[in-house]
């Protein structure tokens, strides 16, 4: 018997860099497994996949986040000691703060702000010979995100700040100089936000109740204390940074409207279809590859013995393409969401499980608002041609993106 299934021999850290989004899938799905052992970063790591694997990953009796995320990611992408690394009651208290920002009014406002910025940006693009959509989205969403969060951003600051955000979002996994740049970008961004948090607390900067900047500045922990200003800055970045990262899904969605005939017309024509399309973009295209946790205790599961403190990775991309979960997973088919039952462990591009008890992304609703506003605008109001370019993306390169960033020419508003 090949249970428990595992890689024998050397550490596979280089393998995961080489195989990217396919690393876990290759091991799990080929044998229809939910757990597979490998060696990563010098540790025995358990790869989890399938709906059952995801359910185990989000079982708080068995898994924790403390000590799971590698330092090189915390020092670039996420920030140290932020919500991603918390467990138990302090986690649930902090999580309610994030979820409280996602009211229907706040989400409507986000949709409106996004449309306004598309209007303005496309006027500028009309005057240019060509534009790179991904780059344009980074600055557009930087403006959207700051406006929504209550963060003041001067026009002449946008480029510099957006460049730092791009470094955090795209540079975290790189090696050498780019990794160091990514760390510096995080330090600069944290400092920027820390000063703003202090300004709000001292009444030097006006902030509206319900905005992220206000709520982060005024939040009290379980001991009734304000967050340390740097911590509040890190959590404010945890709102503004991923909102900018929605740029990737927009770029992939633009690609889908190009790659798959008829999609653009259907997106333009129906609000229901618009939503299915946004969901399918989140399922189909590669973004987050894996998420880490650690076991709280020793236990056996599906014939595999987990040890205490063991590193565990859930195969995020793999689940979104698992043939046991999705019919013809490699076909781009928004219609599959017409009758989707909203399972907690099937569509997991932004994590799974419960919003309040688990680390599932509190930004799923805001992501969908931005995507709907953007795809609708593109499909209904934007005409453009595509010059010769490389639209391909590789599953071997994390994070993934169409090679040339989706170049558009002869842009016209209609």
Q: Which parts of this chain interact with ligand HEM (CB under 6 A)?
A: 83-84, 95, 98, 238-239, 242-243, 245-246, 249, 287-288, 291, 349-351, 359-363, 366-367
Q: Nearest approach, Cβ of 291 to ligand HEM (angstroms)?
A: 5
Question: Closest CB to ligand HEM among 212 and 274?
Answer: 212
What length is written for the chain?
414
Question: Closest CB to ligand HEM among 301 and 345?
Answer: 345
The secondary structure of the chain in percent helix, strand, coil, rounded to multiples of 5, reads 55, 10, 35
Question: Closest CB to ligand HEM among 205 and 348?
Answer: 348
d(CA 100, CA 335): 31
Burial tier of 17 (Cβ tally within 10 Å: 0-12, 13-18, 19+): middle
Question: Closest CB to ligand HEM among 249 and 301?
Answer: 249
d(CA 287, CA 303): 31
Question: Closest CB to ligand HEM among 205 and 316?
Answer: 316
Closest residue to ligand HEM, judged by C-beta, is: 363
For helices 133-149 and 158-171, angle between their N-to-C axes, nearest 10 degrees: 110
Q: Nearest approach, Cβ of 126 to ligand HEM (angstroms)?
A: 27
Question: Closest CB to ligand HEM among 211 and 310?
Answer: 211
Q: Nearest approach, Cβ of 3 to ligand HEM (angstroms)?
A: 27
278's CB contacts (< 8 A; 6+ apart) are 249, 253, 368, 371, 372, 375
Q: Nearest approach, Cβ of 260 to ligand HEM (angstroms)?
A: 21
Q: Nearest approach, Cβ of 196 to ligand HEM (angstroms)?
A: 17
351's CB contacts (< 8 A; 6+ apart) are 288, 291, 316, 358, 359, 360, 361
d(CA 164, CA 187): 10
Q: Nearest approach, Cβ of 374 to ligand HEM (angstroms)?
A: 12
d(CA 297, CA 300): 10
d(CA 378, CA 192): 33
Which of 197, 256, 202 minimizes the C-alpha distance to 230? 197
Q: Nearest approach, Cβ of 362 to ligand HEM (angstroms)?
A: 5
Question: Closest CB to ligand HEM among 150 and 349?
Answer: 349
The token duo for 337 is 């969401």
Question: Closest CB to ligand HEM among 89 and 339?
Answer: 89
Q: 362 phi and psi, to 5 degrees? A: -75, -5
Q: Nearest approach, Cβ of 288 to ligand HEM (angstroms)?
A: 4
């Amino acid at each position: 018997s090949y249970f428990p299934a595992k890689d024998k021999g050397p550490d596979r850290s280089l393998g995961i860099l080489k195989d990217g989004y396919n690393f876990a899938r290759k091991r799990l799905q080929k044998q229809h497994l939910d757990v597979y052992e490998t060696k990563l970063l010098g540790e025995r790591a358990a790869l989890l996949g399938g709906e059952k694997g995801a359910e185990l990953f989000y079982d708080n009796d068995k898994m924790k986040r403390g000590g799971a995320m590698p330092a090189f990611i915390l020092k670039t992408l996420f920030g140290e000691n932020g919500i991603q690394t918390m467990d138990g009651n302090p986690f649930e208290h902090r999580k309610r703060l994030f979820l409280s920002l996602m009211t229907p009014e706040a989400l409507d406002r986000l949709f409106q702000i996004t449309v306004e910025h598309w209007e303005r940006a496309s006027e500028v693009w009309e005057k240019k010979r060509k534009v790179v959509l991904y780059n344009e989205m980074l600055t557009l969403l930087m403006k959207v995100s700051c406006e929504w969060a209550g963060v003041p951003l001067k026009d002449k600051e946008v480029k510099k700040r957006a460049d730092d955000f791009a470094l955090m979002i795209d540079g975290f996994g790189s090696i050498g100089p780019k990794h160091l740049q990514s760390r510096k970008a995080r330090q600069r961004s944290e400092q920027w936000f820390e000063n703003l948090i202090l300004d709000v607390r001292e009444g030097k900067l006006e902030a509206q109740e319900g905005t992220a900047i206000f709520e982060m500045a005024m939040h009290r922990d379980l001991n009734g204390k304000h967050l340390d200003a740097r911590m509040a800055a890190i959590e404010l970045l945890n709102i503004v940074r991923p909102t900018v990262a929605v740029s990737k899904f927009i770029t992939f969605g633009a690609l889908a409207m190009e790659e798959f005939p008829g999609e653009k017309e259907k997106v333009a024509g129906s609000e229901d279809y618009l939503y299915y399309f946004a969901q399918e973009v989140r399922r189909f295209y590669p973004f987050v590859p894996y998420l880490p946790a650690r076991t709280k205790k020793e236990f056996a599961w599906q014939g595999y013995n987990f040890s205490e403190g063991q590193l565990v990775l859930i195969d995020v991309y793999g689940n979104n393409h698992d043939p046991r979960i999705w019919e013809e997973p490699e076909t781009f088919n928004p219609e599959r969401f017409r009758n989707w039952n909203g399972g907690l462990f099937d569509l997991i591009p932004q994590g799974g499980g419960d919003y309040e008890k688990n680390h599932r992304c509190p930004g799923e609703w805001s992501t969908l608002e931005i995507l709907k506003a953007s795809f609708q605008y593109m499909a209904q109001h934007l005409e453009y041609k595509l010059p010769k370019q490389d639209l391909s993306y590789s599953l071997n390169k994390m994070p993934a993106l169409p090679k040339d960033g989706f170049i558009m020419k002869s842009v016209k508003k209609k």
